[in-house]
Structures are given as structure tokens and as C-alpha cells.
């Protein structure tokens, strides 16, 4: 009769792999202490990404914002069915960033900010999967010369900016995207002064 006991070396390897995987995630307290910049208008960002990408559960959207919180680039992809691992998430996010926007590694200080919206099942409470995405986003930003921005979950209950306590009921994982125009950043007002401004002023006065 034989028994299926794992050898001590195999058990130690398994334990060490689990420990490494567990270290590739960020707890909510670590994320809150990391100085992640707050979004001025998180609902506008969420609505804009929702309108552009129409996410369903297991969809990740990484977006790059300029200093005025205007969208520079974004990409979405579906998470593969595998255990949550920050290193794998980092590689996936970095591949998408490299595909849609040049890096800013030559800058001394990051100017643009990357945010991540992840559509998933469950409620808005933090999970280890969220912690792995946070770790992956922070590392991908470092390797691409970006500031690490907000991590947002989108569930059937609504959206939530983790670590900030801000959220809303719409959009959510089931809602129909708003008309695209409503999610666009309004055009900048024309500069005042100069001959062009004077011509516009006279035309408006007629």
C-alpha cells in the first residue's frame, strides 16, 4: 500500500511559491499610504472609459491621463482565467501601455498618470485579486515612466475608487454606456486677446 505524502522539499517549494505570489499584492492600507493622486472627477473618468470600451466582467481598462485629466490613450483586454498574480497583471498592463503610448522614462518626474478600471463579479469590497491589480499597476507605471493613479472596480452594484471611498451606482457592469458625447471632455475655451479674439468679439456683437 502506498500513501501520497509530498516530500518535504516539494512542500517547501509550494509554500515559497505561495509566499512570493502573496507578496505581489497591495493591501488597502498600503495603497492608501502610497500617495496615489486623487481624481478630480472620478465619475467623468469612469463614464468616459465605460462609453469607450463597454466593459463586461473580467475586462481591464488601463488609461493614461494628462495633467488636466484629459485622456491621452486607453486600452482594454480580458483577464485570462488563472490565479491572481501581480507579476502577470504587471506584464499584461505594461504590454498594453507600450502598445498605445510612448514611455516617459526620460522625464525626471512623471507628468502623465495611468489609471486602471477593472470590471468584475462580486461586490465593491477589496479582494486579493484587487490587491494583485494594484501591485501590477504600480509596477507597470514605474517601468513606463508614469505616475500610478487610481484603481477603480466596476461591479453590478456600481463603481468604486478603492482606497478613497468614492463611488457611484452608475455606470455599472450591467448599464448601457452613455452617449459618447456626454463622456467627452468639453473643448477648451478660446484664448482671449489678440486679433483672432477681436474678430470673434465683433462677430458676436453683430
- Identify the weakest region by mean pLDDT among 33-42, 49-58, 65-74, 183-192: 183-192
Average of per-residue pLDDT across 144-173: 94
Q: Give the model confidence (pLDDT) of 178-195 as tens digits.
A: 765 434 444 333 333 443
- Give the DSSP per-residue string, 22-57: HHSS--HHHHHTTTPPPPS-HHHHHHHHHHHH---T
Q: What was the pLDDT predicted at 69?
A: 93
CB atoms within 10 A of CB 141: 26
Q: What was the pLDDT predicted at 10?
A: 41
Task: Note the pTM of the prediction, 2 decimals.
Answer: 0.77
From residue 175, alpha-carbon distances to 48, 94, 123, 178 in Å are: 13, 29, 16, 9
Edge-first strand listing for the sheet containing 113-119 = 71-78, 59-65, 113-119, 147-155, 158-161, 166-168
Cα(205)–Cα(74) distance, integer angstroms: 42
Is 162 within 8 Å of 31 (Cβ atoms)?
yes
Query: Over the range 47-71, which residues count as b (16 or more CB within 10 Å of their CB) and which as e?
Result: bbbbbbbebebebbbbbbbeeebeb
Asked if the bond preceding 171 is cis, omega within 30° of 0, the reply is yes
- The owner of cell 502623465 is 112
Q: What percent of the chain has pLDDT over 90?
A: 63
102 contacts: CB under 8 Å, gap ≥ 6? none
HEC per residue, 53-122: HCCCCCEEEEEEECCCCCEEEEEEEECCCCCCCHHHHHHHHHHHHHHHCCCCCCCCCCCCEEEEEEECCC
138 contacts: CB under 8 Å, gap ≥ 6? 26, 34, 148
Average of per-residue pLDDT across 121-149: 95
Q: Is the pLDDT of residue 149 over 90?
A: yes
Mean pLDDT, all residues of the chain: 81
Q: What angle do CA 158, 164, 169 make, to 5 degrees?
A: 15
Q: What was the pLDDT predicted at 120?
A: 96
From residue 84, alpha-carbon distances to 32, 190, 201 in Å are: 21, 47, 58
Amino acid at each position: 500500500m502506498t500513501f501520497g505524502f509530498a516530500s518535504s522539499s516539494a512542500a517547501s517549494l509550494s509554500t515559497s511559491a505561495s509566499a512570493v505570489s502573496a507578496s505581489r499584492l497591495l493591501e488597502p492600507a498600503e495603497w492608501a499610504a502610497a500617495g496615489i493622486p486623487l481624481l478630480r472627477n472620478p465619475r467623468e473618468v469612469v463614464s468616459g472609459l465605460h462609453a469607450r470600451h463597454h466593459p463586461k466582467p473580467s475586462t481591464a481598462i488601463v488609461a493614461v491621463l494628462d495633467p488636466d485629466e484629459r485622456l491621452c490613450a486607453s486600452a482594454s483586454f480580458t483577464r485570462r482565467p488563472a490565479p491572481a498574480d501581480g507579476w502577470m497583471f504587471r506584464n499584461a498592463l505594461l504590454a498594453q501601455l507600450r502598445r498605445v503610448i510612448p514611455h516617459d522614462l526620460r522625464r525626471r518626474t512623471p507628468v502623465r498618470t495611468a489609471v486602471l478600471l477593472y470590471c468584475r463579479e462580486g461586490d465593491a469590497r477589496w479582494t486579493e485579486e484587487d490587491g494583485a491589480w494594484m501591485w501590477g499597476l504600480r509596477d507597470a507605471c514605474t517601468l513606463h515612466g508614469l505616475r500610478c493613479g487610481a484603481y477603480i472596480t466596476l461591479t453590478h452594484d456600481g463603481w468604486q475608487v478603492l482606497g478613497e471611498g468614492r463611488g457611484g451606482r452608475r455606470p455599472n457592469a450591467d448599464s448601457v454606456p452613455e452617449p459618447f458625447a456626454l463622456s467627452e471632455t468639453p473643448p477648451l475655451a478660446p484664448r482671449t486677446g489678440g486679433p483672432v479674439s477681436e474678430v470673434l468679439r465683433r462677430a458676436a456683437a453683430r
